[in-house]
Amino acid sequence: MFKWILGFLVVLIALGFVGYNYVIDYASDKVMDQVSKTLVGHEEEVNQLLNDPEVRKYVEDGEQAPANLPFTTKEEAIKVVSAKYSVNEMVELRDKVREGLTSEEKAEIYQGLQSKLSEEELQALKVVALKEMQKNNQ
């Protein structure tokens, strides 16, 4: 009987781990998609980021990421963002995005990101989004 309970717990933990990784991957894709769409509309920000030679090499050539970035992958980015936002805030943002955003709502969301993330985290989020855009364009 103990072996059955232990086996069930192991399967449950394994399913939870797989489910968690799937949700993180899905959420990171969605966040990067939205940040990428926002960046496309702000060409001056993209050009400013690409003026940094380290960022340009990382985005375009896949070289080593700049040392000043707190994270360099979309999975790490979603972990940082999810730590800054509550579940209710994330659900509210998701619902707004699903319904379509006006330019005022986009500006409001961007201001929220600026208030919750440090300047380095925000820059890293933009760089990761640029990297993902580059990857998708190839």
Give the tens place of pLDDT for each residue, 45-78.
777 777 777 877 777 777 777 778 888 887 788 7
CB proximity list for 122: less than 8 A, separation 6 or greater = 113, 114
Q: Report the percent of the chain where pLDDT is more than 90.
A: 0
Residue 28's nearest CA partner among 72, 61, 60, 86 is 72
Contact 25, 112 (CB under 8 A): no
**Which pLDDT band, with edges at 50, 70 and 90, does 4 fall under?**
confident
pLDDT value of residue 95? 75
pTM: 0.65
Does 39 have pLDDT greater than 70? no
Task: Look up tokens 């449950």; give the residue.
Answer: 12
Does 106 have pLDDT greater than 70? yes
